[in-house]
A and B are shown apart, each in its own frame.
Chain A
Amino acid sequence: MSSDEEKRNAHFVDKAPFNPYERDALTPEQEKYYLASQWRLTWWRLKRHRLAYVSLIILAVMYASVFIVEFIAPYAQETRNSNFIHHPPQSIHLFHDGEFVGPFTYGTDFSVDMETLKPNYVPNMDRVDRLRFFCSGDDYEFWGLIKTDFHFVCPAQDGTLFVFGTDRLGRDMFSRIIYGARVSLTIGLVGITVSFFLGIVIGGAAGYYGGWVDATAQRVIEVIRSLPEIPLWMALSAALPVTWSPILIYFGITIILGLIDWTGLARAVRSKLLALREEDYALAARLMGAKPKRIVARHLLPNFASHLIASVTLSIPNMILGETALSFLGLGLRAPVTSWGVLLNDAQNINAVAVYPWLMLPVVPVVIVVLAFNFLGDGLRDAADPYKN
């Protein structure tokens, strides 16, 4: 009986020292995750978002190529191939007669349809024009500084390479689209800088000071928002003096685009500031004697900085579309400046489009960029939300 009792009372005691925090210990991965900054977390989440990540890469490549357009484009911007006016797009082949010859194009024979006077280009299957890579082609001035003729790809000697066809002056559409990217892609960035600045300052002032500043800002925003964008843009860009140089017009247009687009951002900043101002941690900071500027910049702004970046990303495509529309109507940029909208200006005439449909090709990069920005913005918005997962 007593031995039974002993057995019951005797219990196992581990001799090893007891560490009460053992269960809370983190694996290295967990530690990395928990110690990561908000930005790093956002980045990881964005990387998991396939579509947004791919869009980011596409945009990065496109923006990187803006720096070296002269090198990428097979022809110079204004080179006129006067023998090949309205040449249809050429395809690049790899095999000729079942034999591998590397990338090449077939030469074309030219004739004129005597009834419609429409130029008629027929691929000549005997003429194999092998493409040259890292070659010398049209002269250009790299960034307006270095005179060179070095290209990534050029047509064969006396051959042609019109991947997207040529326009009414025989200029290569593909090269011009690449050159146009420089204006079309940057115009959104410059415009968004203007609208970002205006939105933060006006929205911040309205949200922070409240009172009559807020009331005035609200009225102004309401008025601007109730005006349809495109007619307003049209009116403002029609007001740009004709005597201005293309570069001035470019900045004029970006500022016009930015001037009207800031309202959404200002509203977001204002409402966020108004809500966050009342949070306990803002009160705590105030009680500890933090200056208003510090409270806004250190405590409130980081709360929605990522949200702001997402909404900025979503409004860049709007600007790109705006520029395209204005230039298409002939109110925005004008030749000799090349942007996708200016290129599309040639496609305004429906008869031209019916006969030379490749004039509509500049819309392809527009759609790609706008889609990419939209996907990236959506992904960023999801990734920046700290309460998800």
Chain B
Amino acid sequence: MLTFLARRLFVMVPTLIMISVLVFVIIQLPPGDFLSTYLNELQSQGEAVDPAKIEFLKHQYGLDQPLYVQYFDWAWGLLHGDLGFSFEYNLPVTEVVGDRLWLSLVLNFSTILFIYIVSFPIGIYSATRQYSWGDYGFTLLGFLGLAMPNFLFALILLYYANVVFGTSIGGLMDPEFINQGWSFAKVMSVVEHLWAPVLVIGTSGTASMIRRLRANLLDELSKQYVVTAHAKGLSPLKVLFKYPLRMALNPFIADIGNILPQVVSGSVLVSVVMSLPTTGPMLLTALQSQDMYLAGSFLMFLALLTVVGMFVSDVLLAWLDPRIRLQGGVGK
């Protein structure tokens, strides 16, 4: 198990390096940079700009360096927890970001948990009662969840909360807690607000998860060892839980690799719509105003989230399934 862990951790390193290069290239892609946009703005307002000041600013932000030097500076900073400087807010990125990264983490983690908790019993139910009304109903619901763009689901939820209950379910906490230190009341407020975005982001993931678990379990249930077990008089529940479920569980856990990027994507969109204090809305504005280091650290953080999530799922799989642990291969 230890060698497996070590090897799996080692594999993550090149992946993360490639991701960081990719992210850096992407944030460098837009023509021009924040400084030149800023200068243009100043000039269009008729303000004289001192060339010396431009040079100074360029030098200070390292914009006069060749790209690879800029990249190494940035990557080196990332390793030390220095996320760079936000041009728009004129503050270090770490300060601008504040609690957002943690709240994102909480949001994504709760969504994954929600997906597992909801899809697990429903998947088992649908597989064991194939073609029953319940199965059809859940399948239909699942398809709807899949087809409905989740930002629209968020809108509709907001709309009904507004029209029917007269409340606003946007945000992640009660307004009075914003910009306040963490306290028990604030945590409770976050927990109270969490359900709406979690529900919205979770629907599409839950739908695909149910379908997958159902298909896997159905495959297992039609195998001969199940028939044998039934014939030998094992109780139906025991037959289900002892073997087929364990076999069907593998892809269920492994699927976190597919679900996680999807959830993170969804959470970005939904947080923009519901104006949650997570990475989403700020990433959007940062991208629009070419605040490259801010956008870069958000992208890097989201990628890190999925990479670490996949690592966790692989470790879980190895723990669950000795075949993977002993062969060291990640069964996919």
A interface with B by C-beta (< 8 Å) = 219-220, 222-223, 225-232, 234-236, 238-239, 241, 317, 321, 324-325, 328-329, 331, 344, 347-348, 350, 353-354, 357, 360, 363, 366-367, 370-371, 374-375
B320 on interface, CB distance cutoff 8 Å = no
- Distance in Å: Cβ of B215 to nearest Cβ of chain A: 11
Q: Are B268 and A231 in contact (CB under 8 A)?
A: yes
Chain B contacts for A328, CB-based, 8 A? 149, 151
Q: Are B159 and A226 in contact (CB under 8 A)?
A: no
Given the known A-B contacts A225-B257, A370-B146, are A357 and B26 also in contact in the complex, defined by CB atoms under 8 Å?
Answer: no
Q: Are A325 and B18 in contact (CB under 8 A)?
A: no
Stretch at the interface among B95-103, B127-135, B297-305: B297-305
B315 on interface, CB distance cutoff 8 Å = no
Q: For A363, give the chain B residue with the smallest CB separation.
A: B152
Residue of B19, B170, B290 with most chain A CB atoms under a 10 A cut-off: B19
Partner of B287, one of A223, A238, A324, A366: A238
Q: Are B310 and A226 in contact (CB under 8 A)?
A: yes
Given the known A-B contacts A228-B264, A235-B27, A357-B159, are A367 and B284 also in contact in the complex, defined by CB atoms under 8 Å?
Answer: no
Q: Are B15 and A231 in contact (CB under 8 A)?
A: no
Expressed in whole angstroms, the Cα–Cα distance for A110 and B288 within the complex equals 40
Q: Are B265 and A230 in contact (CB under 8 A)?
A: yes
Expressed in whole angstroms, the Cα–Cα distance for A374 and B147 within the complex equals 8
Chain B contacts for A238, CB-based, 8 A? 30, 287-288, 290
Q: For B298, give the chain A residue with the smallest CB separation.
A: A231
Expressed in whole angstroms, the Cα–Cα distance for A371 and B149 within the complex equals 11
Partner of B272, one of A228, A232, A235, A329: A329
B191 on interface, CB distance cutoff 8 Å = no
Q: Are A223 and B19 in contact (CB under 8 A)?
A: yes
Chain A contacts for B276, CB-based, 8 A? none
Partner of B266, one of A230, A348, A350: A230
Q: Are B149 and A222 in contact (CB under 8 A)?
A: no
Chain A contacts for B310, CB-based, 8 A? 226
Expressed in whole angstroms, the Cα–Cα distance for A222 and B298 within the complex equals 20
Would you give the 0/1 interface string for B279-304, flagging 1 where the beta carbon is closer than 8 Å to chain A? 00001100110100001001100110
Q: Are A222 and B261 in contact (CB under 8 A)?
A: no
Partner of A371, one of B143, B156, B257, B283: B143
Q: For B14, give the chain A residue with the smallest CB separation.
A: A219
Given the known A-B contacts A230-B269, A360-B155, are A235 and B299 also in contact in the complex, defined by CB atoms under 8 Å?
Answer: yes
Given the known A-B contacts A226-B307, A228-B264, are A236 and B15 also in contact in the complex, defined by CB atoms under 8 Å?
Answer: no
Q: Are A222 and B284 in contact (CB under 8 A)?
A: no
Chain B contacts for A344, CB-based, 8 A? 152
- Distance in Å: Cβ of B157 to nearest Cβ of chain A: 10
Chain B contacts for A236, CB-based, 8 A? 26, 29
Partner of B159, one of A229, A324, A350: A350
**CB-based closest 9 A-B pairs:** A230-B265, A239-B29, A228-B264, A238-B287, A370-B147, A228-B261, A228-B265, A371-B147, A239-B30
Q: Are A234 and B283 in contact (CB under 8 A)?
A: yes
Tell me how many residues of B have a C-beta within 8 Å of chain A.
49
- Distance in Å: Cβ of B252 to nearest Cβ of chain A: 18
Expressed in whole angstroms, the Cα–Cα distance for A344 and B19 within the complex equals 32
B163 on interface, CB distance cutoff 8 Å = yes
Q: Are A222 and B15 in contact (CB under 8 A)?
A: yes
Chain B contacts for A241, CB-based, 8 A? 30-31
Q: Are A363 and B307 in contact (CB under 8 A)?
A: no
Looking at chain B's contact residues, the main secondary structure is: helix
Q: Are A229 and B306 in contact (CB under 8 A)?
A: no
B158 on interface, CB distance cutoff 8 Å = yes
Chain B contacts for A353, CB-based, 8 A? 155, 158-159
Would you give the 0/1 interface string for B106-147, flagging 1 where the beta carbon is closer than 8 Å to chain A? 000000000000000000000000000000000000011011
Q: Are B26 and A239 in contact (CB under 8 A)?
A: yes
Chain B contacts for A367, CB-based, 8 A? 144, 147-148
B43 on interface, CB distance cutoff 8 Å = no
Given the known A-B contacts A226-B261, A238-B288, are A219 and B15 also in contact in the complex, defined by CB atoms under 8 Å?
Answer: yes
Given the known A-B contacts A225-B261, A347-B155, A354-B159, are A230 and B287 also in contact in the complex, defined by CB atoms under 8 Å?
Answer: no
Q: Are B268 and A348 in contact (CB under 8 A)?
A: no
Expressed in whole angstroms, the Cα–Cα distance for A386 and B270 within the complex equals 41
- Distance in Å: Cβ of A327 to nearest Cβ of chain B: 11
B273 on interface, CB distance cutoff 8 Å = yes
List residues 9-56 of chain B with CB under 8 A from any CB of chain A.
14-15, 18-19, 22, 26-27, 29-31
Chain B contacts for A375, CB-based, 8 A? 143
Chain B contacts for A225, CB-based, 8 A? 257, 261
Q: For A234, give the chain B residue with the smallest CB separation.
A: B287
Q: Are A228 and B29 in contact (CB under 8 A)?
A: no
Expressed in whole angstroms, the Cα–Cα distance for A382 and B302 within the complex equals 36
List residues 247-277 of chain B with CB under 8 A from any CB of chain A.
257, 260-262, 264-266, 268-269, 272-273
Q: Are A366 and B302 in contact (CB under 8 A)?
A: no
Partner of B147, one of A219, A230, A317: A317
Expressed in whole angstroms, the Cα–Cα distance for A329 and B146 within the complex equals 20
Chain A contacts for B152, CB-based, 8 A? 344, 360, 363, 366
Chain B contacts for A235, CB-based, 8 A? 26-27, 29, 287, 295, 299
Selected A-B contacts with CB under 8 Å, 9 pairs: A222-B15, A226-B19, A227-B22, A231-B302, A235-B29, A347-B155, A360-B155, A367-B147, A370-B147
Partner of B306, one of A226, A230, A329: A226
Expressed in whole angstroms, the Cα–Cα distance for A184 and B284 within the complex equals 22
Chain B contacts for A357, CB-based, 8 A? 159
B162 on interface, CB distance cutoff 8 Å = yes
- Distance in Å: Cβ of B248 to nearest Cβ of chain A: 20
Chain A contacts for B149, CB-based, 8 A? 321, 324-325, 328, 363, 366
List residues 139-183 of chain B with CB under 8 A from any CB of chain A.
143-144, 146-149, 151-152, 155-156, 158-159, 162-163, 170
Q: Are A348 and B273 in contact (CB under 8 A)?
A: yes
